[in-house]
Structure 1
């Protein structure tokens, strides 16, 4: 049967900001395989022949498997050149998909032992980001993320470190890993330090746990953005508060399916969130483990949720406006969105 086509504009040509991308998870699969061979790191079948891996993290065993694969992938980053290569290639991939601004999230404690400590690791990442943005022609900000499975005092140390580099490449402070193993409430002190230092508050919440997880991010951590946040649809009053406060939800459709948060991309509540008035920034989360990058997320909401080009442009605007990009960059990207909309659509195959 011949594939159906509809008039539509090409998504890679739509200027956008990518606000939910993890450092190791942004690596190209081919680079993972090459670096593993170079450094003699054994990769399990799930990261080679069976890639992308079949994941489901709705129980503790599933999350452990996901985290184990992530840790194995991180272990191939052995040298400064490896880190620089990762960021350079990530920036190239983002540019090819229409990202004019990228905010990449990194927990430096995962690399500190290899690169001389927390401060040298942050400085290496920031220097690599500057090189990558110059080479690819996009802007890059760094979100320093604490690990919610570690002690809150570790998070405070990271927050103080992040504030030292505010205005020098670090734009936000995050909180990642399994929501079920560390309440947002426990990290209020770290986020207070980050906010007082001028950084965006960008914790994960409302992915593996329900509305209570989102509420803690909103009320206790004063979130400007929330990583995922899709479970907020289960509490209409909470969703109304998110809309009223202008908090942006970083929704990652492929990731939600990959981890079992939703059975299919059609069940990720993008349309419900959008029609409720929520600001949404689509994200790819960890392309290395979920097998798709940013443009694919826009394709999914076009195909599975019936988003028109005008609605896709609205999502792109929301991502840009929610970013920490300099004002001149925002204006350029927003103008590019209008140019994209003014361009006549072409036949596009339905995903």
Structure 2
């Protein structure tokens, strides 16, 4: 019989993670369906990413992907056949049912956060850079409050001239941030300048900041002419630690950007500095930094929906088969 017992789980993933197995009732009965196995390991991976980092995450991921097909080979083939024959790939995908072997495997979502380049790690998506930076500079909201200069931090602020990635503002001042995950271009400097001239910011004292992985000299020259502060970023990491360091370096100094310059100066004076880079803060992988309890509940909800869909599909097949048998046998005689 194809199954996963709590002893199998302990052997594969370690005794210390038994509480996660118990949360999926593995101590009461073995798992006999691969989709329940998958949901349990997704919770385990979420836990590993947030507590141990990349190495533990990838080890558990490889263990599961190597084990699930060998352990539930016949069940997987049956489920895939039922799904394809009765629903088709498109409908199966729309209701969340696996329709291939790959659907029972788990994709690596940890190492996809960055791309490795000749200049170091670069965010794969600017939305992740924006989310992390927004959280790290949220102290702008209170760090000048004692001087009567409290600020509000917003991301994706819609203006007449476009959508500003991060806007830090109060009644008198505004700092406009434009973010680029890779190398900054001259057009990016003009973009932050254009955003800063939006009608909604009229009457405020404006400062402009462009954040990117790196800057060429011609871009820095243009930024100086247009009073745009340029900040490069880099990522510090350890494969056995869940925390990443977000480091920034000031590539130019714009006297007009008094508030932002003071913020960065404070970082260099009071923060940790390595090779002329100041540690702006640390962060956990943004795909795994939520509540484990909430993630577990979401996976239980998904599991219940999948079980309901599989049961409905099975009943549909059984009814269809019984109908076919009745037709084959002809009408019954009284």
The reply to whether TM is greater than 0.5 is no
Pick the structure with greater CA Rg. Answer: 2
Of structures 1 and 2, the one scoring higher in RCO (CA 8 A, sep 6+) is 1
